[in-house]
Amino acid sequence: MRIGYRKLKALRSLYVMYNRHFQMTVEIKPFFICVGVLLFTELVASVILSMDMIPRMLVIGAIRLLQIHLFLLIFIVWGNGLSSLGLGKNQLCSGLWRGMLWSAAFGIVVFIGLGILFFYGQSPSTLIHTRFPEQTGELLLFLFVGGFVAPVAEEIFFRGMLYGFLRPLGIFVALFLSTLIFVLLHSVRSPTQAVGGVLFAVAYETEGKLMVPITIHVLGNMAIFAVSALF
């Protein structure tokens, strides 16, 4: 009995040592409550969209804003607070700054890659292209939802909650599964989403601040919109 206890204590010590850098652990109860909220709100959105009475992007934007508020509220009430998602007050400004640095570094790499494609006669739009609404009002709504609201909602769920929930299984398991689910739940799937999913998770793992992948995701979507407009 004493030997078993010592082994368990040793394994726990190794686990704590292995995970000492990543402190954002997500408990079971708030996680599954959020999953239930996600499924219910997505069902409501699909019903509303099927009626074809309200503009699609307006419905999506409203649902994503609702999800953001409900996710955060759930972790405040039933979880360990927003710090367990890497969204503590002392993490916001520094996370924003670090996210901008990550975005700049990754942007340089992407710019070089797209420049090489362009040099060899390939349009960058073959890899990243977005179709914009024709009307001005719809376009502005599209840019706001697709460039800001959706990335924030996605990072809170896929990195803050899903990755944090899977993280005790190990870095690579959490990275693979969170990225796979992130890609599969998009209606249009592309390698860009897989690369983005890996980048966001690695940034979150490295920095421990959810504002870092949120910033990268927002600026990344804006960059995709800019490239699509130019090419």
What is each CA distance from 42 to 11, 31, 55, 72, 192, in whole angstroms?
40, 16, 16, 17, 24
What is each CA distance from 193 to 57, 127, 167, 181, 188, in whole angstroms?
20, 11, 20, 11, 9
Does residue 7 register a pLDDT over 60?
no
The phi and psi torsions of 120 (rounded to 5 degrees) equal -90, 15
Residue 6 has what pLDDT? 62
pTM: 0.88
Confidence of residue 117 (pLDDT cuts 50, 70, 90): confident
Confidence of residue 190 (pLDDT cuts 50, 70, 90): confident
What is the percent of the chain where pLDDT is above 90? 73
Q: Tell me the pLDDT of the chain averaged across its residues.
A: 89
Residue 97 CA to residue 169 CA, distance in Å, equals 29
Does residue 62 register a pLDDT over 80?
yes
Does residue 149 register a pLDDT over 70?
yes
Does residue 187 register a pLDDT over 90?
no
Does residue 216 register a pLDDT over 90?
yes
Residue 115 has what pLDDT? 85
